[in-house]
Structure 1
Amino acid sequence: MSDAVSLGFQTAELCIKTGKEIYKRCKTYRHADEEVRQAILEIDSYWFTIEDQVRFLRDHWEFFEDRYQVHSNHLLGELQKSLQAAVDLIDNVLGEPDDSSVWNGIRSKKGDTRRGKWTVYTKEQLNLILKRIEKWHHHFNPTWFLLSRMSNKNVGRDFENSRDGNSGAISTVAKLREAHGESQTTLVPSISSSSTSSSSLFLGKNYELKDIEAIPLARSSMGMTGEGRRVIIDHYFLRNGVDLRTAKKDVRDLVSILSRVDPAFSSLLPCEGVLETESEPPFQMIFTIPRTMSYGVPCSLRSALLQTKNDFDLNERVHLAVSLARSVVFLHASRIVHKNITPENVVLLRSDNETLGTPFLVGFERFRFDERRTNMTGDDNWEKNIYRHPQRQGLQPEEVYSMRHDIYSVGVCLLEIGLWNSFVQYNEDHQVSGPSPELSIDDLLIAKNKRRAAVGIKALLTEKAMTHLPRTMGKIYTDVVVSCLTCLDSDSPLFSEPTDFEDADGIVVGVRYIEKIVYEIERIRV
């Protein structure tokens, strides 16, 4: 076993050992105050939710790509520190296991005031540790889901064996891998005879959908089901060169994956199925709105950007940016290239304590799976092209769409969020009226050399990020946006090493994005 493999294995093993120590203390300290004992149990319960993930990493460490090992070892080291802090705190305030003298001493003190203060302090410290572990898990999930891309047979076999196990995290990745396998092996003519789970993704004619209305300045709609649930409706149009049978297979495979998403992690809505129509668009994907996000009427990010920036505080704007950035991780882990990330395809849903809301990426009409052929076709719509890298603009784009092109699109959206300015203006009839007055691209839009104009717009966006974002959003946010906008440059700070693109599974690209975009933007404190 190499040093790198051994180190990661040992770190995972140490996490598991420390987790056992917490469990042992939960069993031991039955004499503790109820509130303190409950706080210890909450830490132990949360460890239980992630223990299987840590064990899986430990048992398969040798099969992981080097960059993934380095990244994961760092995360496991942070987890171990938090777990050990919990053990140390418990022992310091309660004594060693089976030693009730400390607690008995506290109980014997005269009066309840001192004991009450001790209880409050101890509970607060344990809750802080729990929040650290929860935060760690939130950070770790993007890295975990990248395993759905890993082609190693040993990893795949053990995920398959754990598919119906008790661990939700392992089961989710296993089902994603299963969905990828189905999309790879199922031939188009066999759609009608596909498995029950696949065929059930197509909603029957009895599925009731009513009160359908457009979401202003969005490419999706909203409606009500027969049971009275509000849903988001995404329209899938046939593209040039794609026949109905192929489109049906693509949509089915997409819905198979999106039906498994966790909105809290992915900033994607779970898809409950797809309706076939007899007209254009031929397919309507139905997305479930989480119960906690059903407050108010859904709106598009475009609509929000056209409102005054004073309406939304900085915390909510950063939350919006973080959520949008995380959505790309799940898409990459699911081998999906969105190809159409714009504010019109981001729907904001609100809980009762939010003003701006949480973004969810929709608008999958141009998506493709990254292992499948892509149609090298485009359009000349400037309002769409400004979200596309220059390589992907025009009627005949130069490059095959990849995750990095989606990252560029996210960068443009993050720039708009940071400036709180819509680069695309609309008139009262909800028709595009022109670019923002603050985006001086009129001359570039009418230039004869479209490729040179596209490069000029990219340069203008990058310059705007570097000169205007620091004073409103700070250095971290600025660096993240610039990294996204320059992610395909030869001297990109995000993907600067040739090894970033050498792994066939795309794990390294995902790790770099998590480290340099997602983790960085999550560091922002307002």
Structure 2
Amino acid sequence: MEAVGLGFAAASVAELCLRIGKDLYKRCKSYLQAEHELREASLCIQGHWIKIEHQISVLHRVWKSLGDDLQIHQNLVLQVLQGKLQNAVNTVHSLGVLDDQRETSTLDRVVAKMGDTKRLKYAAYAKSCLEGIIVDLEKWQRRFDPSWFLLARIAVPVIDQQLLAEEEKTPGQSSVVSSVMQLRHVHNLNRNDAVASSVSTSIFLQASYGIQNRELIPLSTASTGSNSGHGLIIDYIPARAQVPINLATKDVRNLAHVLSNVDPERFGLLPCHGVAKRRDPSTQSISGFDIIFSIPEKLVHTRPRSLRSLLSTSPASVYPLNERVKLAVSLARSIVFLHSSCFVHKNISPENILLLHNNHQPTDVLGNLFLVGFERFRLAEGRTYMSGDSAWEKNLYRHPKRQGLHPEEEYTMQHDIYSVGVCLLEIGLWTTFVCYSEDPKSVTTPSPALRPIEGHIGARDQQRAATLIKDILVREALTRLPAVMGQIYSDVVVSCLTCLDKDNQRFGDEREFEDDDGILVGVRYIEKILFELEKIVV
């Protein structure tokens, strides 16, 4: 189908979803006078639809601005929604007859004629049906959110106008709309240095801001601390000699502005409370920056753990397979939202993946995942200094062309995808690839799981050694992962590790992704990595 034809077809799918969704909303209103359990379920369905309706309404109005690839993707996702909504309407209709003339339900009269036993059985059945609709809508929402937040990257004014119009129509009712609006606002600020510098509320904290009880998280780059009793995570970004301090300050400011607007439940990123400048005691010059993150209230009473710590100390039997798959999906989703936020991480590894346990979810053994370690971050359109280091334990998570003191390629999202692939391999095998000695001054060593790479560490031809190590990782994914995690998971890991290979059929030629807004690689990643992981059922 030609792009124009597809645009009209998908726009009509959006209109159809809106029409069916409104019918579902009206039918659910007939349950508001029903028993307590049915009333709660009905309200929950209505709440989900209101949120979806805001998003679809905006999407429909900005459709021409999305570009062909994002239109194709959204068309597929909307078709799934259409099917779920139609099934939901049919289900609700089967539970109670709607009187179209009075626009009220005869449900009460139907139930009133039932005996107590039948009434209880009917209520249990109806509640189960409504809860099934809730699960379907929640699953679809999780599937849609990643591509929805890609709207934050598209530099087209009409998107700002339509988001604002939707927000003004129902002020404060749609967090998903306001989240994209805030991200777009921050991106506009970051593009305009004069405006960003004149913002009245600075992201930089006063020198008097104190952090108490600061303590390094084991096998992590981050620390914990507190201020006035509030739990904090502190991520240190050192000043680098090759970056002028005024530029470093601006980059950190821009990063902090973006991170201050994240939704921790959706993004897998902690909200930034502010930035504290560190100064050299002797010269008072800025030596680095502490990014201060707030810990969400429901997670504040647990001690953060790094993924490296868990991989190093906890056997696979401690964590059920479904928990590991859930962790993998969370990591994959966090990369989408990093990309939506217009920056690349450049330092993804188990040391920079934190897990915080939710006391309200006791069955969630591993906890909630959050990325930290922004030491080497870069805004997607920002400067790149083509600098690196020779630490093997860091290079292990870098694409071969991004290794060493002088990397060959400028950093892109695909390089973050490669790093995710290495982490997914460790999660799947549930083994650490890097072993730390108890002596902090000693060197790190490859774990027994990666013994084959020992001969390549310190080799004279580092570029060739890096490629051979990548081949070893791919071989591990091909040979060991299927028996442990299944074929889908194995295929995803291989796709991540080979995402820049010319013969990778899932990603293809990297030149296809050279669009101005960086949307194409995001769409491809959502479809080929995230959606594939979410297919896994344990």
Smaller-chain TM-score bracket: over 0.9
Q: Give how far 1:24 is off.
A: 2.0
Instruction: Please tell me the residue identity of whatever aligns with 2:485.
Output: M
Q: Give how far 1:229 is off.
A: 1.6
SS at match of 1:464: helix
Instruction: Please tell me the residue identity of whatever aligns with 1:291.
Output: E
Change in 2 beyond 3 A, CA 1:29/1:378: closer
2:263 is equivalent to residue 291 of structure 1: no
SS at match of 2:523: helix
Structure 1 residue ranges, 4+ long, deviating more than 6 angstroms after superposition: none
Contact 2:387 2:407 in 1 (8 A): yes
Q: Give how far 1:417 is off.
A: 0.7
Of the three residues 303, 311, 316, the one matched with 2:309 is 303
Instruction: In structure 1, list runs of 5 or more residues that go unmatched.
Output: none
- Number of the residue aligned with 1:503: 515
Deviation digits for residues 436-476 of structure 1, max 9, x if unmatched? 12212111113211100000000000000100000111111
- Number of the residue aligned with 1:277: 278
Deviation digits for residues 494-523 of structure 1, max 9, x if unmatched? 311567314221111101101111111111
Deviation digits for residues 386-409 of structure 1, max 9, x if unmatched? 100000001110000000000000
Change in 2 beyond 3 A, CA 1:15/1:348: same
Of the three residues 64, 81, 84, the one matched with 2:83 is 81
2:463 is equivalent to residue 463 of structure 1: no
Change in 2 beyond 3 A, CA 1:87/1:23: same
Deviation digits for residues 38-69 of structure 1, max 9, x if unmatched? 32222112101221110011111122111111
Of the three residues 357, 375, 379, the one matched with 1:369 is 379
Matching of residues 36-75 of structure 1 within 5 Å = 36-75=38-77
Of the three residues 146, 151, 154, the one matched with 2:155 is 151
Instruction: Please tell me the residue identity of whatever aligns with 1:223.
Output: G
Instruction: Please tell me the residue identity of whatever aligns with 2:414.
Output: R
SS at match of 1:509: helix
CA RMSD of aligned residues (A): 1.9
2:248 is equivalent to residue 241 of structure 1: no
Q: Give how far 1:343 is off.
A: 0.8
Instruction: Please tell me the residue identity of whatever aligns with 2:253.
Output: R
- Number of the residue aligned with 1:259: 260
Change in 2 beyond 3 A, CA 1:48/1:163: closer
Instruction: Please tell me the residue identity of whatever aligns with 1:315.
Output: N
Separation in structure 2 between the aligned mates of residue 319 and residue 376 of structure 1, nearest angstrom? 34
- Number of the residue aligned with 2:444: 433
2:390 is equivalent to residue 380 of structure 1: yes
Change in 2 beyond 3 A, CA 1:25/1:159: closer
2:396 is equivalent to residue 420 of structure 1: no
Matching of residues 468-479 of structure 1 within 5 Å = 468-479=480-491
2:183 is equivalent to residue 171 of structure 1: no
SS at match of 1:359: strand
Instruction: Please tell me the residue identity of whatever aligns with 2:222.
Output: S
- Number of the residue aligned with 2:352: 345
Separation in structure 2 between the aligned mates of residue 263 and residue 425 of structure 1, nearest angstrom? 30
Change in 2 beyond 3 A, CA 1:401/1:499: closer
Contact 1:388 1:405 in 2 (8 A): yes
Q: Give how far 1:101 is off.
A: 5.1
Separation in structure 1 between the aligned mates of residue 393 and residue 31 of structure 2, nearest angstrom? 63
Contact 2:500 2:510 in 1 (8 A): no
Instruction: Please tell me the residue identity of whatever aligns with 2:268.
Output: S
Contact 1:163 1:175 in 2 (8 A): no
Instruction: Please tell me the residue identity of whatever aligns with 2:76.
Output: H
SS at match of 2:213: strand
SS at match of 1:40: helix
Q: Give how far 1:105 is off.
A: 3.6
Deviation digits for residues 203-235 of structure 1, max 9, x if unmatched? 113322101011111111111112x12210000
Instruction: Please tell me the residue identity of whatever aligns with 2:45.
Output: I
Separation in structure 1 between the aligned mates of residue 73 and residue 64 of structure 2, nearest angstrom? 14
Change in 2 beyond 3 A, CA 1:29/1:449: closer
Instruction: Please tell me the residue identity of whatever aligns with 1:370.
Output: A
2:18 is equivalent to residue 7 of structure 1: no
Q: Give how far 1:181 is off.
A: 1.5
- Number of the residue aligned with 1:401: 411
Change in 2 beyond 3 A, CA 1:16/1:385: same
Instruction: Please tell me the residue identity of whatever aligns with 1:374.
Output: T
Instruction: Please tell me the residue identity of whatever aligns with 1:217.
Output: L
Of the three residues 88, 94, 97, the one matched with 1:95 is 97
SS at match of 2:218: coil
2:187 is equivalent to residue 180 of structure 1: yes
Separation in structure 1 between the aligned mates of residue 345 and residue 24 of structure 2, nearest angstrom? 43
Instruction: In structure 2, list runs of 5 or more residues that go unmatched.
Output: 281-285
Separation in structure 2 between the aligned mates of residue 31 and residue 276 of structure 1, nearest angstrom? 57
Q: Give how far 1:244 is off.
A: 1.5
Instruction: Please tell me the residue identity of whatever aligns with 1:45.
Output: G
Q: Percent identity?
A: 47
Contact 1:301 1:359 in 2 (8 A): no
Separation in structure 2 between the aligned mates of residue 163 and residue 240 of structure 1, nearest angstrom? 44
